[in-house]
Amino acid sequence: MLDITKEKAYKPIRKVKDDKFSIDKIEQYCLILVIGDRDLQVSIIDIKSNRVLILEDYSLNKTSDENQKVQVLKALFDSHHLLMVGFWKEVILCFKTPKYCLAPLSYFSKENARAILKMNCEVHKDESVGYYKVNSNNSVNIFTYQKEVLKFVRSIYVNSKIKVTHQSGMLVNAVLYNPPFANDNELSLYIDRFYLHAAVTNKGKLLYFNSFKIQKFEEYTRYINLICNEFKILKKEGVINLWGYIKHDSSHFNALKKDFPALKIGNRTKKLNFGFKFDEIAEHQYFDVFGNYFNL
């Protein structure tokens, strides 16, 4: 068992709260929870005004199984002034598990969800498999998820509608709901903690999506090169946009810019409204978190 008394189970990285947040209006708010291996993002959005009211980012203690993950989440939730409130309009629980696929809707049925996922990755018998339609295109996102985590979240929000999503589909949403679109192939990149996610689109249609686990910085260049070559995206004149956990003035960004001169920092979605409190957050960050809002 994880001893959360010796060391705090989580660490807050960032907290932003809009002045327009009101506890009396929770029934018109959407709560978004994005859960990774070692991190959690929390966002609250007013469905009536499309205004982002709260964004929080936490690092979590390393855990070895689902029950330990629930202990860590419980410690955070118990000490949080809002997460134990149970009357949200909707709750979206988004997993960042490494096993997923995007399947055409025409090929999907509930009965073959696990079989389709097994075509893309190894799926053990004891792993839970979920799925949902991605709102931005005609695909179904199939993925493994942590059953005990979902059970824990459901035990808290018994009065709210809960949707379960996956980071991959939410990044697809974020990209496809982010015009204008180029007439040629364009590359959208998202750098997460230890992962690179990549989407190729053409005129607003998804051609390709994949994720790469990163162990060395040089691997970013390697994978981006492979995608550019495959889809004939020019490194100097093409459209290559970047979001995620990277600073635009960092040595890492400058190194990528040297290899890919067309690389530009991506913009924040125009479909959501942000108050001045969010000016402290770079516009290219939390692109995946906000993508969840498009699957309401």
Both 167 and 34 in one domain: the answer is yes
Determine the pLDDT at residue 296: 86
The CATH number given to whatever domain includes residue 156 is: 3.30.420.250
In a domain, 108, yes or no: no
Both 31 and 158 in one domain: the answer is yes
In a domain, 114, yes or no: no
Distance of CA 155 to the CA centre of its chain: 23
Both 64 and 161 in one domain: the answer is yes
Both 225 and 242 in one domain: the answer is yes
Q: What is the pLDDT of residues 190-230, one digit of tens each?
A: 999 889 999 999 999 999 999 999 999 999 999 999 999 99
CA 233 to each of CA 80, 195, 219, 228, 248: distance values in angstroms, whole numbers, following the listed order: 46, 21, 18, 5, 22
Q: What is the pLDDT of residues 186-195, one digit of tens each?
A: 999 999 988 9
Tell me the pLDDT band of 157, cut-offs 50, 70 and 90: very high
Both 137 and 243 in one domain: the answer is no
Both 48 and 190 in one domain: the answer is no
Tally of domains within the chain: 2
Tell me the pLDDT band of 7, cut-offs 50, 70 and 90: low
Separation between Cα atoms, residue 208 and residue 186, nearest integer Å: 10
Q: What is the pLDDT of residues 132-147, one digit of tens each?
A: 999 999 999 999 999 9
Domain extent at residue 135: 10-98+128-174+273-282+285-295
Determine the pLDDT at residue 241: 98
What is the average per-residue pLDDT within 105-122? 96
In a domain, 151, yes or no: yes
Both 136 and 16 in one domain: the answer is yes
Both 235 and 132 in one domain: the answer is no
* H runs (alpha helix) in 64-217: 66-79, 113-118, 147-156, 167-176
Q: Which residue has the higher pLDDT, 296 or 2?
A: 296
Both 15 and 56 in one domain: the answer is yes
Determine the pLDDT at residue 9: 93
Both 29 and 64 in one domain: the answer is yes
pTM, to two decimals: 0.96
Both 26 and 52 in one domain: the answer is yes
In a domain, 25, yes or no: yes
Both 169 and 183 in one domain: the answer is no
What is the average per-residue pLDDT within 105-124? 96
Q: Where are the beta strands (DSSP E) in the chain?
A: 10-17, 29-35, 39-46, 51-60, 90-95, 100-104, 128-134, 139-145, 161-166, 186-192, 195-202, 205-213, 239-244, 263-265, 273-274
> Is pLDDT of 8 > 90?
no
In a domain, 3, yes or no: no
